[in-house]
Structure 1
């Protein structure tokens, strides 16, 4: 793709109300059986067309076919019991009822490949598909089998690599791994977290992305952010390791955050997917605000390595708000693109 400052969302878009309850995480489906399969594909088609209509250069699935960015993948795996659930602390921030690991984990069949192939048919633009990263997967489970976070992460990394290779074969151009746990469990990230992420991405020809953010715009996350002080410097822990990793692109939260923009210097040489849209606010950014966020990043990343994006997924937002934010993202990137085109070579 030759577009300067291409635009893309990170993960989820709100689902239509006829498919799932709006503005709720882990929202149950309103349909079932064959009707649910049809409904998911209708929503996927709609999300793809809406992204095109709003001017996005890279089209994602918007997570229309999954209830949650982590557990929907896990529920297709052997060795995980969704009936016997436990309440665990997720990323040291909030409690959630999660499934339990009761045996060896394995993938009996592809999880998202059919949906990705369907998305590929909907657009001629590059498509991106997100998978949960190994560390974030283990943080969303109660493990009664391996009793080792590291060992389970390596097992998940192998399974993710199998899925990623088949997504690539189905026509996915960019594969993103979501690792918000990298902003919390620093010692584990250094010891084996980045290594398991690289295992998940091993051998891929598709472009690879790791997305690390401060979470959805839900109360548990906004309350946590309020405790982080005037500067959020968690990326200082992960960026030097990722700069030396095999991952192509690093996706980070920026707009309306307290992340010092100069931390991007720590991943110099990598592509940077910069969050220029705040997902914790219903206020729609102006194109000028988006352009300003992107413009400030250009001190630390070359323009041909900058991708304009959202901070995180937008599932909890009202649907129209999310769509208007897509338009702002596209228009803001366009402002800066025009500015750069006028700069003499």
Structure 2
């Protein structure tokens, strides 16, 4: 019988301090060459071990082999210049120095497939791999070639689809597309954002997920949240489009957020990764707090479709804190399993 309430993370986990500087996004590697390859594989082993100890059921790579959830994928594509950078406003929230699209976007070789094959050999549990979504990729660049966010998104969707098919062939069970930009550019989501994501999953037989969050617990995101009022209803704008899509799973932020739980009604029938761990603070949730979040979600999600998870990635957090939060997530799910006798 399939385990109910399977635990997963939705994004990054902190890297070991010997691999890169801790608690920092875009943190540089401390190793080079063959030592870096070996170090990344050691980090994958360690990340797997810590997830298993914490009771995680669907294993992720924790983004141990990449510096950033978007730019590491883009680095391996043709048509992007990382030397001549431009400063752009990302998700209407903060300025960042980003690479520039200077030519046709193509993918010459697989990007994460060797890492996925390595992780697959280490465990018999289901594994999940995250890729950036087309719209979020567009929003993390300066486009000096296509001169159209939509055209660029279609090109990214094509190369994402190539990579996703190769990851599926490498034994990945769930491919998750990270689309925080969906929470900001509603008109574009409905005009072409969802359509380009459908192109990215075209022909896949494995499960597919979309992760839409309110961002890492960094100052720019936390400041933005303060402007959103007493109810965060961004999901209401995009869930109808997602409900009619071929995406199997939806990951959303719940714990310590102001997202009304009843918005899940708009995607009833989909599998839902309910964020029951807040990644934007340095406090470990109690199992009861996690269970309470899951109880609220069960009013709108059938139990077989509920996947307890984190709100977002935990790369900026100390490792012991991330471990504690994962253990709390697992313990909270166990409370619900006992209550329901499953």
Fold conserved between structures, TM > 0.5: yes
**Inter-partner Cα distance in structure 1 for 2:324 and 2:124:** 23
Aligned position for 1:255? 255
Cα-to-partner distance string for 1:50-102 (whole Å, 9 max, x where unaligned):
10111000000000000000000000000000001111110000111110000
**Inter-partner Cα distance in structure 2 for 1:240 and 1:341:** 33
**Inter-partner Cα distance in structure 2 for 1:238 and 1:323:** 32
**Inter-partner Cα distance in structure 1 for 2:156 and 2:20:** 28
Secondary structure of the 2:237 match is helix
Aligned position for 1:178? 178
| 1:139 and 2:139 matched | yes
Aligned position for 2:129? 129
Deviation at 1:248, TM superposition (A): 0.2
RMSD: 0.7
**Inter-partner Cα distance in structure 2 for 1:247 and 1:144:** 31
| 1:70 and 2:60 matched | no
**Inter-partner Cα distance in structure 2 for 1:41 and 1:295:** 37
- TM normalised by structure 2 equals 0.99
Aligned position for 1:293? 293
Cα-to-partner distance string for 1:217-268 (whole Å, 9 max, x where unaligned):
0000000000101000000011111011000001000000000011000101
Aligned position for 2:110? 110
* Equivalent runs, 1:184-195 vs 2, <5 Å: 184-195=184-195
Aligned position for 1:27? 27
- 5+ residue gaps, structure 2, are none
**Inter-partner Cα distance in structure 2 for 1:203 and 1:291:** 37
**Inter-partner Cα distance in structure 1 for 2:3 and 2:237:** 31
Cα-to-partner distance string for 1:27-54 (whole Å, 9 max, x where unaligned):
0111111111111110011001110111
Cα-to-partner distance string for 1:284-318 (whole Å, 9 max, x where unaligned):
00111101101101111100000000000000001
* Equivalent runs, 1:151-166 vs 2, <5 Å: 151-166=151-166
**Inter-partner Cα distance in structure 2 for 1:4 and 1:134:** 31
Aligned position for 1:94? 94
* Equivalent runs, 1:333-344 vs 2, <5 Å: 333-341=333-341
Aligned position for 1:83? 83
**Inter-partner Cα distance in structure 1 for 2:234 and 2:25:** 25
Equivalent residues, number: 342
Deviation at 1:337, TM superposition (A): 1.1
- TM normalised by structure 1 equals 0.98
**Inter-partner Cα distance in structure 2 for 1:312 and 1:176:** 12
Secondary structure of the 2:341 match is helix
Aligned position for 1:3? 3
* Equivalent runs, 1:235-250 vs 2, <5 Å: 235-250=235-250
**Inter-partner Cα distance in structure 2 for 1:90 and 1:122:** 36
Aligned position for 2:313? 313
Cα-to-partner distance string for 1:181-230 (whole Å, 9 max, x where unaligned):
00000110000000100110111111000000000000000000001010
**Inter-partner Cα distance in structure 1 for 2:330 and 2:234:** 28
- 5+ residue gaps, structure 1, are none
Deviation at 1:341, TM superposition (A): 1.4
**Inter-partner Cα distance in structure 2 for 1:6 and 1:340:** 15
**Inter-partner Cα distance in structure 1 for 2:151 and 2:338:** 49
Aligned position for 1:330? 330
| 1:44 and 2:55 matched | no
**Inter-partner Cα distance in structure 2 for 1:293 and 1:73:** 33
